[in-house]
Amino acid sequence: MSGQIFYRERQKVKDGSKTPRFRIAAVAGVDLKVYADHLRRGELEQIADAVGADLVELKGGGGKGKHK
């Protein structure tokens, strides 16, 4: 089994901004240290290819903050 890199889209990214949009949330089965806070999709794909891992996108809950 190859490793997996779990990532999600940033919460506060603006449409049309040129800033990196993704964060790595977890890594399984791969010895990998990540020093960047935010990454572009192409950068994630390059990392996954280099270490032989699959990318897994985490879906958000779609809520508006904490529940009361």
Q: Any idea where the domains of the chain sit in the sequence?
A: 3-57
CA-to-CA separations, 48 to 18, 39, 60, in angstroms, rounded = 22, 12, 22
Are the beta carbons of 20 and 7 closer than 8 angstroms?
A: no
Q: What is the pTM assigned to this prediction?
A: 0.76
What is the C-alpha separation between 68 and 58, in angstroms, rounded? Answer: 24
DSSP label at 11?
S
pLDDT, tens only, 35-55: 998 899 999 999 999 999 999
Sheet containing 22-28: which strands, arranged edge to edge? 22-28, 3-9, 53-57
Task: Give the model's confidence band at 2: pLDDT under 50 very low, under 70 low, under 90 confident, else very high.
Answer: confident
